[in-house]
Amino acid sequence: MKNKETQVDDLLKQESYKVLEVQANVTVGELKKAYYRLAKRFHPDKNPDSVSAAHHFVRINTAYQTLRSGLRAGDVTDWMSSKKNDQFEDSQGG
């Protein structure tokens, strides 16, 4: 059974993938491209009168930092593989 901190980290990563509109098997380069695409679209300078765009811009930055700080090149796939193994073990009673 995972501890609460690990569960929270997993939820943050899952939400970050959604915010950045990428799959969990994204490469570091694809992650960066997605971040720049969305950051450019929702940047406060491009949407000076939109509070929701500013809020989404903050979410985009937070999501990118969450994934980037915890993952190095190749680690995204490793993380997902371990996640699948954890789910398998849980379903097997292990």
Q: Scan for tokens 């073990």, then name that residue.
A: 89
Express each pLDDT in 5-58 by its tens digit.
Answer: 888 888 888 999 999 999 988 888 999 999 999 999 999 999 999 999 999 999
| Predicted TM-score (pTM) of this structure | 0.69
